[in-house]
Structure 1
Amino acid sequence: MTRSGPLTRFNPAQPGAAGMKVVATGLLVVMAATYLLTRAYEARYPGLSFVKAFAEAAMVGGLADWFAVTALFRHPLGLPIPHTAIIPRNKDRIGLTLANFIRDNFLVARVVARRMRNIDVAGAAGRFLRTPSGEGNRIRRGASRLIADVLEGLDDERLGGIVKGAIAQRIARTEVSPLLGAALASAIEDNRHVPMLEAGIRTLARALEANEPLIREMVRKKASWVLRLAALDEKLADAILDGLRKLTVDMSEDPDHPVRAKMAEALAQLAQDLQHKPETRARVEAWKEELLANRSVAQWLDRLWQRARAALIAGARDPDAVMAGRMGEIMRSAGATLEGDPRIRKAVNQFVRRAVAGMAASYGGSMVGLVSETIRGWDARTVTERLESAVGRDLQYIRINGTIVGGLVGLVLHLLDTL
């Protein structure tokens, strides 16, 4: 079963296409009737020869344009005439041509960079996010519907493969150890590591309570038979547990506790090693490569993509819900920052320009395949009907113009012949 994609939901914005078709066909019938009448009375009224010439040529012009318009979408009168039903027969080739056009004009890195050089993406995004109502809201709704239709219409497997492949390749090419080290060093410098330490202490306390039977069993096994005989192993276990509990409480309450200071020193040393120590960096990169090669990571990326795609579609279908509540406040605040801070706007624009140009260079060919295969998967009859409905009004005007122009040409030729 073929997919019709978003075209199946297309609601043409050209009212009156069917009415114009009736007008064009009716004009052709009128010309035919006029021709028959003038031919019958031409001998009695010689002046009707001019009307007859006009009607005769108009019929020829109208029929020729009817044939041309019909041949674009189907076989005229159902006859398999060569070079008719052009769009259904060449749907796949049209899709490939469209995809190549998109690639050559929009997905070449230098073209993308040149086109985006003067585009203020950050400013536009800021205005888009900051505007809660009015014209911006109508634009948001229209853009949201378009995004939702595109996301639902594109081949999920191919598009997901491109996205997941891009994420995996970007992670593989990026040395994460210096980034982690710089982030940790920045957190320590701003004292943002304190919540991490406190969370670690709380985790240690919970682990201590959860593993109390295991600790008691370890003490009992390590204690000598004399201690066990005197039941001193239980007291020893109680002393160890009480000491560990007191240590976690003291560490939690005293910011200057020596053990806590040692933990902070260890974090600072880790941040330094992650950035500058070759052995640590190599070990982190090896862990990263093992993670990327793990099937569980691939499944996690797949679930991440599916959730992101579903969230994007749901948000696009209901943009007001996305912009409401706390999330809406955050997005509006981000929009005001993007629009008002020149440094952030410049950095975001530069990042977007480089990212889009890089994606165009890396995935232009894949996008061509995605577009062409998506169009190939659409039902030919549905595509034909929707395209004909979308441009049907103009097509019928072609028929009307052909009828009138043909009649005028016939009238001029008859006048010249008479003279």
Structure 2
Amino acid sequence: MIWSNWNKADKTLLFVLVVFLFCLCLHLSYPASLLADGMLFCAEAALVGGLADWFAVTALFEKPLGFPYHTAILPRRRDSFIQSSVTLVQKEFFSKRKIFHHLERLHLMPMLLEWLDHPETRARMTDRLLVYARNILVREGSGEQAAVIAERFKDTLAKVEPEDFFGEFGRWLSRSGRDHEILAKLAAYGYLQVEKPETRKAIEKYLQDYEKERTKGDFWSLLAAGFLEATNLVDLEEAAELMQKQLLSILEELAKPESRLQEDLLSLFYEKSMVLNLDPAFHQLLHDLKDSLLEDLPLGEAVQRTFTHLRAHLAEDQAREVDPLAEHLPVLQSRLAGLIGEEYQRILDLLKEDEELRRSVGHFLYDLIARSALHAQTLVGVVVTSVLSGLTDKQLNHLVYDKVEPDLLWIRMNGSIVGAGIGLIMFVIMKFIELN
């Protein structure tokens, strides 16, 4: 055995043995010396005490010198030791009294509110809810969801009054300036259509048809028309070209932002819309149209097809490891994130302001954690039993010995110290008796 691997108890026992041998030699050299006799007596008692305690400590874990009786106590009693350890952990460390005592010292709701209000938590929760919303869109079997959405959409439409809808729609167009944009785009589109040669030919054909219809069955009208055509005073082709240019000029003016013509046309549109919106016949027409749409409009099928196409595109993007909402529907993603953030903040404010709700949530959390901790008693017992049962005798000895090694070493060292002290006392008493 290497000297550096010896513990201090082994070194102490070796030192006592060396002292005993020295005292024995001294006693043999000076048999009549009282000092040599006393030193030998004390050294012998110290050696016996050290050996006895070494035997006792070693017998806890193994068989010292192969002695079989009442030794290797821990390996032989491992089942009782494991059960006692489980009971200690369950009944002392995880006792119901201690669990509830520690839980009562926790302020669960302030901790929960602080955690929920943390920006990192808020962002993480929003992201998770966005992922959940996206997964709903790509989930198979969305027919039932489509039917629910279509039914709610119909209920919403049924509650909308057409007059209020058109009135609100007109006000929105005016406030947002979209009326100017729409009119300008319509004018630009009309300009592209009117400037085509086919349009000029269509105008010319219309004038010809109108001329024929106007002079039909009237001798003098036919005569006048023939005279004008013969003298080339009226050229329908030239008239059609002039009309086309005039239309293009009007459309060009109409497409200019906030032009006079555009403002006049929009004012006329709003004026006539207000008059039309007050007409009972128009009201009845709108209600009939709404009822017909609600009855015949295939909203369920439309929503289902939308889900199907959307699911296909989102699934392809997920296969490419691309966030489909961020790539194709950034506005929807931003809107969803905003809605989720608003609802998240609303829930937090409700928890902060409503004392009854906060008390109910705190009681629920307290009960949940307490029940989980009580159920953990059994789980901890199973874990401790499983771990300790899987250890070999040597590993179990090391596990216990490493935790109490300093105390066991001092027990062995105290055996030699106490033995030497008792030997000294006995030697003094024996000599005192001999002298008397």
Superposition TM-score, scaled by structure 1 size: 0.40
Q: Name which structure has the greater RCO, CA cutoff 8 Å, separation 6+.
A: 1
Superposition TM-score, scaled by structure 2 size: 0.39
Compare CA radii of gyration and give the structure with the larger one: 2
